[in-house]
Amino acid sequence: MTTRTPTYAPTDADPAATLVARLHALRDRVAVLVEHRSVDDPTAGDPLRGLYLSEEAVRHLLRPVEPVVLGLPAAEQPYDRLADLSARLGLTELDGALLLIALAPDLDRTFEPLYGYLNDDVSRRRATVSLALDLLGVPVHSPAARARLHATAPLSALGLLTVEEPERPFLSRSLRVPDRLVAHLLGDDTPDATLTGHLHRLTAPPRSHDGQEPFADGEFGEFVERLAARLTAGPPLNVYLRERREGDGLVCAAAALERAGVPALRFSGPEDRVPELLREARLAGLAVVVAGLPEQPAGLVRELAAASDVPVLIAGPRPYDPQWCDRDPLSLDVPVQHAGAPAVWSAALGEEPDFDLAATVAPYHLPGDRIARAAHAARSLARFDGTPLSAAHLRLAARQQSASGLEQHARRIRPAVDWQDLVLPERPLAQLHELALRARHRDRVLGDWRLSAGGGRGRGVLGLFAGESGTGKTLSAEVVAAELGLELYVVQLSSVVDKYVGETEKNLERIFTEADRTDAVLLFDEADAVFGKRSEVKDAHDKYANMESAYLLQRLESFDGIAVLTTNLRANIDEAFTRRLDLVVDFPFPDREQRLALWRHSLSHVPCAEGIQPGSVAADFELAGGSIRSAVVTAAYLAAGRGDLVTGADLLEGARREYRKAGRLVPGEGAW
């Protein structure tokens, strides 16, 4: 909820003083009516008046009485919340007077016995319909006056007045004003207690050091400008903002409201709290913003659409469904906010960092409110470490704000490697750098420069890593994720592939949908299990297998995330998938020099005996990088068991064990 004071409320005024002055005038009118009622009333001095009716009292009630014409005097105070509320909500003078009469016992207990006397019932200490009309000098049979208390009239429809006890005759029904309205008229702007936990602060987008909005230029800025202009012109706007990326709709709404100077409430509660929400908005002259619709949003949208006097902005990723509501809102597609992302981060940080901010934040697609929270968290992390703000702090904070539901279907890996951990030929290494570069600059190239292929295609980055087991495919995906400052999620095929028809596609859709909204790298290990070649249809199994492949082809077209596919057999991948890939990286089996480099890299942190040379095992044993690491681990355990340093014999034994695991002939041992 915004903290700005509504523009209609003078800060030096005392609303309670004006209301008390009105009550003093009302008390004078009550006194006149009491005196008028007591003339020739045989029960006027009876202490049990109102508890029983004598014959003489009945005859008195049957006498015709001329109504006393009483008007509401103008308030003497310069600021009157009741008058202001009446003007903003289109209430009549009669409506305002009815509210004042109804709320009097809530502010002054002396009205209770007076109302009891006038109601001829000491137990009924609130104003009734009859008493209110009598105090105003309005005939109780006036259809215009009675209509102001109808359920569809403004007082009841806007939640300002409740006509209680529907089982009683209309004239004897009690009038009650909600406590929240009484508090508002006294100057208390604390939201209704029933809305606790459902109202949130609507954070305005941060501004740069020169006071400019970071996204003032571009398609997103133009859209915000048009929306702000519409909010300040014409009747209250009811709009549905469909966002392509989660959070952009909320950022757009906050920016437009900020530019239009309209304070707002952000609501995330159930539909049964909407009446209190709308009343709160009407009392303070606020707009309502809703982001994150429930699974079945029809009731909530219908309730909000009924408020034609309150600006309502709803943001969500789903297209608007006409079945939700009879009164359709203005449905708009929110442009993706990407061009000014570094400027938004800079404004949120409030300082110019001494590292390349644009390169650091390029992989992240957080909405504006998440950017502000990430910037705050990054500054807190830097203070905790006692160091200046660094790119590592910002990346960690950004990852924390990009919480994901992918862990239900994938295994998360927090990258702890870098380019130094890769021992690869020049060509695949260059391709990996290019993959990271594409992930950083895809918004600029595909968005700003409009090089997207169109047709609803997404801005995802897709790479295929092909090579034998242990050649570094998974490690390379982890290095790319580390370079981008993202987490790596390895898809568990056991949780994806299902024997029932259509379930595999559903599981994959959940993964892709979550990956689209999460800043992470998605890894499909052994991808040929789900991205394999389509075959000739010979039976039902072939038919449904081809349907899975067709679904994947379509889904990859609209994918917006970063995904890496790995396979031991590139030939098993369908050519249609290959065409949709940005890069295909071949991981060759390491030659002798690369094997030696891998042995040395694996031993770099291991305590080794003096003069140890892994050159002989590198030459004699043709092992991939993963097997070399396993051999070094075996050697380290052998040395640790002896309480000694790793020796050449330990390395030789480790290499031999890797050969035996693979069922290969160990050099120097002969057949076994």
Distance in angstroms (rounded) separating the CA atoms of residues 56 and 53: 8
Count other C-beta atoms under 10 Å from residue 33's C-beta.
Answer: 20
Q: What is the pLDDT of residue 301?
A: 94
Please state, in angstroms and rounded to a whole number, the distance separating the CA atoms of residues 47 and 321: 65
Q: CA angle 435-436-437, nearest 5°?
A: 90
Sign of CA dihedral 283, 288, 294, 296: positive
Of 3.40.50.1220, 3.40.50.720, 1.20.58.220, 3.40.50.300, which CATH number belongs to 419-587?
A: 3.40.50.300
Q: Where in the chain is the domain with CATH 3.40.50.300?
A: 199-334, 419-587
Residue 214 pLDDT: 65
Give the H or E element holding residue 423.
Answer: none
| Residues in contact with 536: Cβ distance below 8 Å, sequence separation at least 6, in sequence order | 542
Positions in the chain short of pLDDT 70: 1-13, 37-79, 206-217, 338-341, 403-404, 454-456, 494, 532-546, 670-672
In total, the chain counts a number of residues equal to 672
Long-range pairs, 109-118, Cβ under 8 A, ≥24: 110/27, 111/23, 111/27, 111/30, 114/30, 114/34, 115/30, 116/50, 117/34, 117/37, 117/49, 117/50, 118/30, 118/33, 118/34, 118/37
- The CATH number for 199-334, chosen from 3.40.50.300, 3.40.50.150, 3.20.20.80, 2.40.30.20, is 3.40.50.300
**Sign of the four-CA dihedral 343, 348, 349, 355:** negative
Q: Do residues 613 and 648 lie in contact, with contact meaning Cβ atoms separated by under 8 Å?
A: yes
The CA distance from 500 to 497, in Å, is 9
Question: β-strands 330-334, 238-243: how paired?
Answer: parallel
DSSP state of 12: T
Domain with CATH 1.10.8.60 in the chain: 592-661
- Kindly tell me the sign of the dihedral angle through the C-alpha atoms of 72, 76, 82, 86: positive
SS3 for 235-293 is CCCEEEEEECCCCHHHHHHHHHHHHHCCCEEEECCCHHHHHHHHHHHHHHCCEEEEECC
Summarize pLDDT for 240-260 with one digit per residue, the tens: 999 987 788 998 999 999 999
- pLDDT of amino acid 536: 54
| Gap between the Cα atoms of 529 and 230, Å rounded | 52
Torsion over CA: 497, 500, 503, 505 (sign): positive
Assign 53 to helix, strand or coil.
coil
14/80 Cα distance (integer angstroms) = 9
Q: In whole angstroms, give the CA distance from residue 523 to residue 570.
A: 16
Beta-bridged to residue 330, according to DSSP, are: 239
Cα dihedral 360, 363, 369, 373 sign: negative
CATH number of 592-661: 1.10.8.60
**Cα-Cα-Cα-Cα dihedral sign, residues 264, 269, 274, 275:** negative
Contact 118, 131 (CB under 8 A): yes
Q: Name the amino acid, one letter, at 611.
A: G
Residue owning tokens 């009741």: 82
- DSSP 8-state code for residue 580: T
466 conformational bin, left if phi > 0, alpha if psi -120 to 50, beta if neither: beta
Q: How many Å apart are CA 286 and CA 382, to the nearest integer?
A: 38
Q: What is the pLDDT of residue 248?
A: 85
| CA-only gyration radius of the chain, Å | 37
